[in-house]
Structure 1
Amino acid sequence: MKRIRRTVKTENPILQAPQRSKKQKTFFYGSAFGKSHLQTLMDWGTLPLHVVLHIFQFLPLVDRARASSVCRRWNEVFHIPDLWRKFEFELNQPATSYLKSTHPDLIQQIIKRHADDLQYVSFKVDSSTESAEAACDILSQLVNCSIKTLGLISTAKPSFMNVSKAHFASALTVVFVNSKSLSSIKIDDTPVDDPSLKVLVANNSDTLKLLKMSSCPHVSPAGILCVADQCHGLRELALNYYILSDELLLALSSEKHVNLEHLRIDVVSENPGQIEFHTIKKQSWDALVKHSPKVNIVMYFFLYEEEFDAFFREETPVTHLYFGRAVSKAMLGRIGMNCPRLVELVVCANGLQPLDDELICIAERCKNLTAMGLGECEVTCRGFIEFVKMCGGRLTQLSIMEEVLIPDNDYNLDQIHSEVSKHLGRMWFPDMMPTW
């Protein structure tokens, strides 16, 4: 019986279909079992293109490419533009990562045949400078692109920060100039600078909706203000606190600007006393909330206790607060008094002073609070139950380590879960420290 199955040589050497031995070929064609498989293969080969395309969309990249070597029809499907709208380039060095990189031949094939099909693109790199530079080299070649979303992801620092600012800015400018329809950009921990942002604004001001650029030390308040002034469709913004200003909040609150939906602010200090944190005026916060009443304002704090003086002295419309380092009782007290829109509060550590009064104040004044997490803190069982009782069923997330709770004359640890469960309206237990 003549062999019917034909293979098409793929353009990519890593994507060849597995080869069968002569013995396997004989079995495939000579037995009844083999004949049924041959018929199945022929049936697969006659599937409508849209069905094969749908199947290809669910296959991992390597399996998809191997399938493309089965026949010319499937190879044609492999190159249909819809399959290349979304792509993640993975660039890793064997010495610094156990993850595999996107094969160089496949990268060149994408640049040659599918650069203008790419719309949702991300680059995931390890900590090495070589990987980040390779990502910049690829970006520099995307001169015929229509990218809508771009993400640069470092799985570990320093990566992009070790690339020369000129090389990075040049590569990014290629995409900013040629895309002209960028709506989402995530470029945290990169050497992006003010001139690059001006190029972004000049070419994508009508389409940009999300900009995430925390830990970008070469961007100034003037650079981000330029974005806010010109990109009136911006709905989500993430940045470091040192870039935040009264002028920026007022620009986001102008009549021309759409309602802001999400504002994330990272407040970070590596060495205590190195940065003097400024205070944002209450009038500026009020203008933003008046213009965008449903905005989520998320703040991540990585400060030392003595650096909190500039924060929450006046009413602040923050909705989500996360403290990655120890925070004082006084600071938590100010949060209770001045954060009426608070929805979620996570405290990594506090110390050895019970937080009963602070939690009760937060429960009384923060009527929107639905999530609470406490790490290395202390609160009496009575105080904690009072807090839960005041919040009631609206407290949908409650994560407290058992070590946080201090038994008192009213309650012990054996009683705490049933009492808290009663007020929450669902079964609840404190989190346990792993024993391993």
Structure 2
Amino acid sequence: MAAGPNWAYSPGVIIVEILSYLSLRDRLRAASICKRWRSCLFHPSLWNSVVFELGERGRAKSKFLADRCGRFVRGAVVKFNSLSVAEVRECGRILAILSENKNLRHFSLQPSSCHIEWPDTEAVHIIDKYLDLIECLIEHSCKLKHLSLGCVEELLVHSSSLLQKLSSKHGSSLQSLHLASVKEDSENYGIIDLSPAKFHNFYLLQSLSLDYDYLTNELLDQFANSDRAKLQKLCINVHGIEADHERITNDTWRKIRNYSPKLEVTLNLIHSYDGVASLLDIFQPAMPLIHFRQFFCSHVNMASISYISSHYRNSLKTLHIVDGLVDDMSSLYDNHDMEDPFVMLAWQCQKLEHFTLMGYVIGENDIVAIARLRGQQLKTLNIPARCISTAEDEEESNSWFSVGCISRDFAKKVSESLRYDWLPIEDDDLPMAVLRDEADAEAAYMNTLLSDQVWEGE
């Protein structure tokens, strides 16, 4: 019988082409064929993008990949527990490697928290080191297209100087920039100088996330200019609101919407008591609101829910409201209308795909109505079991209700409308901060906020 082909002598370009069709696990298996195949495993074309996960399970792998690929990979995401000193240090080490990479095109930090646990004795030194490395990364990469700093407040207070470097080095290439932050204390934080002029040179910018503090009419006017790419996504994080903050006019929203008809606006309120109270000033009819979220704001502005129903019926896809229980009880939202405002929203907002309400009492019949109105279009319907009320006597005007005691056929009715098996969320699956005041609230929203900052290019 004739011997088969000797794969060890295959041309390198053929081996690389074969490896390009395989998953990472299969590439590693194929690399065990011989030394030649192993040498092709780390060809730059095979490592277009790498996610470095610094938890215990992925740390060794990420360390190995950073040492082998960090200096030529085109895309890098660093996921780490920012409250772990060991992972913070390893993230700094990977940053040092990436900062020498001239091929880097997109870079994202994805911390577990908006706060980084710097070692007490080294805090100032390490913060400065991180900033220096990020500046080196900006300086050494040739055509950076995407940068996300992961909502880290300590880094984003230096946005002005980072913007200056980005503008001079990557103004003609940057397409996606994420400077939105999360404030640990939403009522007491400093406002940096982040003038609209600093965004002037970003001609290709299509995706931007920013704190509401820095959103102005002048800034949005810049993106409605014919010499620029059309802005596709604008994500706004709202914390405190200064008394003299400039209100974005409807004319401004109309102008940018006319120039960028596909623009999608996401509004995130995070511990923002001022934001909830000011929603009717923030909203404008021409704002193309697609996603509305509020996290731990202690109140639902029902007038704003009615406004959303009336003005964003052709755009809204997501309504996401999460609050903590008060004294182990769900709160009642104000409702002076015959119909539940969330049912009215589900009826009027014909593109609604995601609905979450945690921390507030909502009736069984209202949930059934929401499911029937939107049907299988509603991809997610997140309601805690303990927040669902059941009327004891629907025929009597003075009927009382119980919370958390669900009727037997309730889930079946909702499932039939959604056309998939649905159940309310039990306590074990709820974010801990919904159940307990002292729990870390960031676990309930960091992944969602970071999902706004993902690179979606090639």
Q: TM-score, normalised by structure 1?
A: 0.72
* Partner Cα separation in structure 2 for residue 185 and residue 263 of structure 1: 15
Question: Is 1:134 aligned with 2:70?
Answer: no
In 1, the alpha carbon distance for the partners of 2:133 and 2:182 equals: 16
- Could you tell which deviates more after superposition, 288-297 or 331-340? 331-340
CA distance change for structure 1 residues 171 and 274 in 2, over 3 Å: closer, same or farther?
same
Counting only pairs closer than 5 Å after superposition, residues 56-95 of structure 1 correspond to structure 2 as 56-57=19-20, 58=22, 60=24, 64=28, 67=31, 70-71=34-35, 73-89=36-52
8 Å CA contact 1:373–1:399 kept in 2: the answer is: yes
Which structure is higher in RCO with an 8 Å CA cutoff and minimum separation 6? 2
Give the counterpart letter for 2:48 in structure 1. R
Is the Cα contact below 8 Å between 2:263 and 2:288 reproduced in 1? no
Post-superposition offset of 1:345: 0.6
Name 2:222's counterpart in structure 1. Answer: 251
C-alpha separation between the residues in 2 aligned to 1:324 and 1:197?
A: 28
What per-residue deviation string (whole Å, max 9, x for no partner) do you get for residues 315-368 of structure 1? 343211122223325343443344443211112247124755311332354333
Q: 1:211 to 1:407 in 2, by over 3 A?
A: same
What is the match of residue 414 of structure 1?
A: 408
Q: How is 1:29-428 mapped onto 2 (pairs within 5 angstroms)?
A: 43-54=6-17, 56-57=19-20, 58=22, 60=24, 64=28, 67=31, 70-71=34-35, 73-89=36-52, 99-101=58-60, 115=71, 117-127=72-82, 128=85, 129-142=88-101, 145-156=102-113, 157-158=115-116, 166-188=128-150, 189=152, 190-191=155-156, 192-215=158-181, 220=192, 222=194, 225-227=197-199, 229-268=200-239, 279-305=247-273, 307-313=275-281, 314-315=283-284, 316-325=287-296, 326-330=298-302, 331-340=304-313, 341-349=315-323, 351-353=331-333, 356-391=339-374, 394-408=377-391, 409-410=393-394, 413-420=407-414, 424=417, 426-427=419-420
RMSD between superposed Cα atoms in Å: 4.0
Identity %: 16
Looking at structure 2, the residues matched to 420 and 266 of structure 1 have their Cα atoms a distance apart, in angstroms, of 33
Report the CA distance shift for 1:208/1:268 in structure 2 as closer, same or farther (over 3 A). Answer: same
User: What is the one-letter code of the residue matched to 1:100?
Assistant: R
Does the CA contact (< 8 Å) of 2:196 and 2:218 recur in 1? no
Separation (CA, whole Å) in 1 of partners of 2:49 and 2:377? 39
One-letter amino acid of the structure 1 residue matched with residue 76 of structure 2? V
* Count of residue correspondences: 382
Q: How far off is 1:75 after superposition?
A: 4.6
* Residue in 1 that maps onto 2:426: 433
> Which AA in structure 1 matches 2:143?
S
Residue 64 of structure 1 deviates from its aligned partner by: 4.0
Residues 1:310 and 1:265: Cα distance change in structure 2 (over 3 Å): same
Distance in 2 (alpha carbons) for counterparts of 1:385 and 1:110:
52
> 2-side partners of 1:263 and 1:348: how far apart?
22
CA gap of 1:233–1:338, structure 2 versus 1, over 3 A, is same
Larger Rg: 1
* 1:158-201 per-position Cα deviation (integer Å, ceiling 9, x unaligned): 05896656534432333323323111112221354322212212
* Alpha-carbon displacement from aligned partner over 1:237-267 (angstroms, at most 9, x marks no partner): 1222222222222222222222222212222
Q: CA deviation at 1:210?
A: 0.9
